[in-house]
A = this chain, B = another copy of it.
Amino acid sequence: MRILVAEDDQRLAKMLRLHLERAGYQVDVAQDGVEALLQCQTYRYDLLILDWMMPRKSGIEVAATLRQEQFEGGILMLTARDTEIDLVHGLDSGADDYLVKPFQSNELLARLRALSRRQQKAFISTVTFHGLVLDLSSQTISYERHPIDLTRREFEFLSLLLRRPEQVMSRELIIEVVWGIGADITDNALDALVRLVRKKLDAVGAPNLIRTVRGFGYRLGDPHA
């Protein structure tokens, strides 16, 4: 597993390398943002650790640029305690997770493992659609600031739709995603699930967002259409 550490603090960089190599990663280190970018464009990395504040180019900028260039690995951002963490949250920088300095090596390693495990599912980006907000980091969906209390399956279902608004998802696909491939459930379970989610959306005043497409499946649609 190849990993690039972009960190200007020499000592921290050294420390990181030590721990990561001991954990079996193949580690490269970049001293600043520009260097990190160059390295990424030259070599292939599975994971990236970016310091938030670096000379020449900040971690956010690097992450944003790389995502535009279709970088698909996991990105972990390092921030100092006193910097606004909300920034990480709010900005859709492309980072998947963050860690506040100082941190413990086992938390770092655990988060990295979590990242490589769920490579494609970013943690901290948010997706919104007509007042519905999906916050991956807290596994929460809310409507107009009202958090909606969803069970695991309900969450999986709604977030699936939310990630592809307006697009029809077939019943088959939904079942495979929510229950896993080869799940042994009746077709009706999905109906029941949909009903529950709709009820919960109603309860917080969200309009009729989940549209059923007869014979195909479901989609999230503009309530005023």
Contacts and interface: CB of A to CB of B under 8 A. Distances in A.
Contacts of A180: 106
Most chain B Cβ neighbours within 10 Å, of A19, A87, A110: A110
Interface in A106-139: 106-107, 109-111, 113-114, 125, 136-139
B106 A177 contact: yes
Nearest to A147: B225
Given A81-B125, A166-B138, A167-B137, A15 B113 contact: no
Interface residues of A, number: 52
Interface of A: 11, 14-15, 18-19, 23, 81, 84, 86-89, 91-92, 98, 100, 102-107, 109-111, 113-114, 125, 136-140, 151-152, 160, 163, 166-168, 170, 172-173, 176-177, 180-181, 213-216, 219
